[in-house]
Structure 1
Amino acid sequence: ATDPDGDELSYEWTTSGGDITGTGAVVGWTAPEAVGIYDITVVATDGHGREDTRSVYPSVATDTPPTIENLIVTAEHKYLKTTTTGYMVGKTKEYNIECIVSDTSGGVSYNWSCDGGELSGEGSMITWTAPNTSGYVTITVIASDIADNRMRKSIILHVVGCSPCTFG
């Protein structure tokens, strides 16, 4: 910082976590072990009591991506069956898909995509509507943490006609 009158400045540094070392215009900050977003603030004061405050908000994260433990498909109807390769689902039916994540870095965001049918919603649970055609659909989610560490997981859904003998 500079003072328009050329006055010498004093600096007071504070942080919401971690340790500040040194004094003056340039100091060091040692991040805490806990994952999170922290506040580092400096107040620069001149000899006449005028001051200016600035803050930065660094993120502390691990370099380990979130772990997607499972993708769970549920429905409020009977047209859902678990198979050895994924799930059998009925044409045009709606399904909830939940991404179960264990995360070590906090603040997980989700990016969902599919190659058939329609997705709606956001976050760890979305709704998927099956297409009106038989075939296989892949639904993929990418889970990202605050450090942009990412993990991807997909499930395969076999879309079939909704006959009682198929879903029993």
Structure 2
Amino acid sequence: MARLVRLVRRYFILGSGLHLVACGGGDSTEPPPPVTVTITPASATVNAGETQSFTATVTHATNPAVTWSATGGTITGAGATITFAAPLEGGPYQVTARSVADPARSATATVTVRAIAVTVSPAAVTIGAGGTQEFTATVSNSTSASVTWSATGGTIAGTGTTITYTAPATGGSYTVRAASTVDPSKSGSASATVTPVAVVVAPASRAAFRGEPVSVSATVTGAAVTGVNWTASCGTIAGAGTTVTWTAPQSPGNCTVTARSVLDPAVASVSMMTVRPAFLVTSLGDANDGVCSWTHCSLREALTAANADPGTDTISLVVPAPVGAAVANTIVLTTSLPAITTPVHIVGPGADVLAIDADATAGSPRRIFEFDGAFAGSLAGLTLTGG
């Protein structure tokens, strides 16, 4: 009996000890897992100025709230999902979500921002002064394709991605630029080489008789506008355009005929005209209407005009080429020619080409030429008869 009591007591003590061990195990429970934060998407590539949504997920926290930050750009919104607006400068940026429950816990997404680029085509052109050229701008990696245009010389017509450029009047190198409206610091350019304007007149020089009409032409190169304006220091100009008629004045001397570019008036060319101190006889008749003009001038009219000019003059007689061996042309006088009272040289085409017939009679003698003794003069290239 005593032995049985001892065994019962032993098992009770052991049981009590096991009970105590079981109670000690409840005090060593595993700690809760740490807070974790994830962002989706983990990475993104966007154009400058574009937006991208990001969502943060917080686990193992009773408070799922996060705070957002970025190394560039801007963040709109709050909560688990926000909108990130990319900056205008290209490059890599980080968007971070940080747990409110445990600020030591965060997640970061990488955003690659493509930089805005602007190209202008054609990239280089050569055009004449005042000429036009179309340019087109292409904008990449931007939220807008619009641009603003500028040029260092000339003018721009139109808006949008394609414009018309008009070159200035002065030759040289110019730049046409297109800048992004989203980021004006991003631009592209084209070079425009403008050829200088040049004007050349023909003839460059000419000797003309009094009243003689001379055709003068101007050639304009290096310009889209080929028009010219004409002026003359003496004489008159008839017509317009690149070819005009200049008529020599009645007074001998030097005249200039100038063609000036309409596009660039600073560019001009000059023809030097020398008006001979000569009257040109073009008629075999003996009429005298008081005017020795280019279209009609008799010997009598030429002598009258020469007498009215105090300087030394020349009278040139122009007739058709000789026919055969005989004198082909004859001026028959109806009355005596006026006495020559100023220095004059009378030059014919040749003694076998032109004769002057006084048409005198025995009862009515007539001199062909009478020179005042105080004045010098000469005769050449004529046959004188009938005096």
The verdict on how the C-alpha distance between 1:127 and 1:38 changes in structure 2, with shifts beyond 3 A counting, is farther
If the length of structure 1 is used for normalisation, what is the TM-score? 0.55
Residue aligned with 1:116, SS: coil
1:117 aligns with 2:235: yes
Which structure has the bigger radius of gyration?
2
Q: Take 2:349 and 2:269, find their aligned partners in 1: how far apart are those partners? A: 26
**Contact kept in structure 2, 1:17 and 1:39, CA below 8 Å:** no
Q: Please identify runs of 4+ aligned residues in structure 1 that moved more than 4 A.
A: 21-24, 164-168
1:99 aligns with 2:206: no
Query: Aligned letter for 2:271?
Result: I
Gaps of 5+ in 1: 1-15, 32-36, 43-55, 74-84
Q: Take 1:152 and 1:113, find their aligned partners in 2: how far apart are those partners? A: 11
Aligned to 1:158: 274
Selected match of 2:134 from 5, 8, 17: 17
Q: Take 1:166 and 1:88, find their aligned partners in 2: how far apart are those partners? A: 19
Residue aligned with 1:92, SS: coil
Residue aligned with 1:18, SS: strand
Residue aligned with 2:267, SS: strand
Q: Take 2:219 and 2:349, find their aligned partners in 1: how far apart are those partners? A: 26
Q: Aligned-pair distance for 1:101?
A: 2.6
1:86 aligns with 2:205: yes
Residue aligned with 2:134, SS: coil
Residue aligned with 1:17, SS: strand
Query: C-alpha offsets along residues 99-152 of structure 1, whole Å, 9 cap, x if unaligned?
Result: 12322x31122111111111121221111111111111111111243xx37421
Aligned to 2:147: 27
The verdict on how the C-alpha distance between 1:115 and 1:167 changes in structure 2, with shifts beyond 3 A counting, is farther
Q: Take 1:118 and 1:57, find their aligned partners in 2: how far apart are those partners? A: 41
More strand by share: 1
If the length of structure 2 is used for normalisation, what is the TM-score? 0.26
Please report the RMSD computed on the Cα atoms of aligned residues, expressed in angstroms. 3.6
Q: Take 1:86 and 1:155, find their aligned partners in 2: how far apart are those partners? A: 5
The verdict on how the C-alpha distance between 1:113 and 1:60 changes in structure 2, with shifts beyond 3 A counting, is same
